[in-house]
Amino acid sequence: MSFLSIMIDGAWQTDVPTTPDLDARLSRVRSFTDRISPEPEARFPVEPGRYHLYVSYACPWAHRVILMRSLLGLERAVGMSVVHPDWQGRGGWTFEAGALSDADPNFGARHLAEIYARSAPRYTGKVTVPCLVDRVSGRIVNNQSCDIMEMLGQALLPLARHPVDLYPADLRGQQEAVSRWIVRHLSSAVYRVGFARSFAEFLSNLIALFAALEETERRLGAGPYLFGERLTAADLHLFTMLFRFEVYAYALRCDLRPITDFPNLVSYRQRIAALPEVIPTLRPDHVAIHYPRHLSEIPSEIDAWLERARAGTSS
């Protein structure tokens, strides 16, 4: 049986056993999906200084939002606070002033769960980053990384100090399709490997993950970025996954082959990591704290199989 740390009826709870009833209840949870809009009379209008991000440098979903904010130069227009990377041992995502995290400047909250409760006092569900908050109403606007990226890169683009178009109109459909593919077959796939509940499930997910890496390797042979010479939002999805790949290999057993077997992926990762706006967002210390060795509880036979596979003797 697996266990969750979640909010139930507005209260934070740890080690909650998963049951069919709980799974069904969580499947009905409505995430925060409001939008910032330039339209007249919008509930959440475009205003500098009005919105604040809660993020983790360790979390790949939050990292892509941090990257978007930094690449566009939205630091003055949109505030940001970093939670502590040790998620499990501190009551969920936690604020504290120090080298690894910030105090909450808006509500004096100790935990991110408190901010969720402000917006939905009876909230039941996961407490996740990134989280975009409206400082005027004190409510969460949105906690979906793709939505927040789009708001930063489109609605709030007029406030950017260097407004790069990461959602080019002529690539809109293609860019969205590639981003969805990356999320499904790479970003989320590493967790399907690491949290597999049987050897058969693990093996199927592992093979699918490395097939997706091979496909991406071939695609990047055609240009420096996913769409040739043009950096787009899709690249932020891919980069945040690749930046953590060695940690996924260590913590989630995604280590059938080293990333060095994919030279195009390695060059691509190095190219993006060297961008001046990207460098400050890279915090491997946060990532290392967040992902302990072998998070999953999958059978020990998997380790033996991986050793044989890497030696070329698996069957």
Q: Return the closest-CA partner of residue 302 out of 194, 219, 229.
A: 194
Alpha carbon 30 to its chain's center: 19
pTM of full prediction above 0.75:
yes
- Write down all domains in the chain, each with its CATH number in brackets: 3-159 (3.40.30.10), 169-310 (1.20.1050.10)
| Residue 129 one-letter amino acid | V
Please indicate whether residue 191 is annotated as part of the active site.
yes
Eight-state DSSP code of residue 47: -
Among candidate residues 54, 59, 225, 291, the one labeled active-site is: 59
Q: What is the pLDDT of residues 20-68, one digit of tens each?
A: 887 777 777 778 999 999 999 999 999 999 999 999 999 999 999 999 9
- Of 218, 230, 220, 232, the residue nearest 268 (C-alpha): 220
Q: Render pLDDT for 182-226 as a digit per residue (tens, 0 to 9).
A: 999 999 999 999 888 888 899 999 999 999 999 999 999 988 999
Residue 78, classed as helix, strand or coil, is strand
Per-residue pLDDT of the chain (315 residues; tens, 9 = 90+): 577 888 888 999 888 888 888 777 777 777 899 999 999 999 999 999 999 999 999 999 999 999 999 999 999 999 999 999 998 766 799 999 999 999 999 999 999 999 999 999 999 889 999 999 999 999 999 999 999 999 999 999 999 999 999 999 999 999 999 999 999 999 999 999 988 888 889 999 999 999 999 999 999 998 899 999 999 999 999 999 999 999 999 899 999 999 999 999 999 999 999 999 999 999 999 999 998 765 555 556 677 777 777 777 655
How far apart (Å, rounded) are the C-alpha atoms in residues 309 and 206?
Answer: 12
Backbone dihedral region for residue 73 (phi beyond 0: left; psi -120 to 50: alpha; all else: beta): left
Of 244, 65, 52, 221, which Cα lies nearest the Cα of 137? 52
HSE-up of 241 (CA within 13 Å, CB side)? 24
| Distance separating alpha carbons of residues 75 and 108, to the nearest angstrom | 21
What per-residue confidence (pLDDT) applies to 313?
61
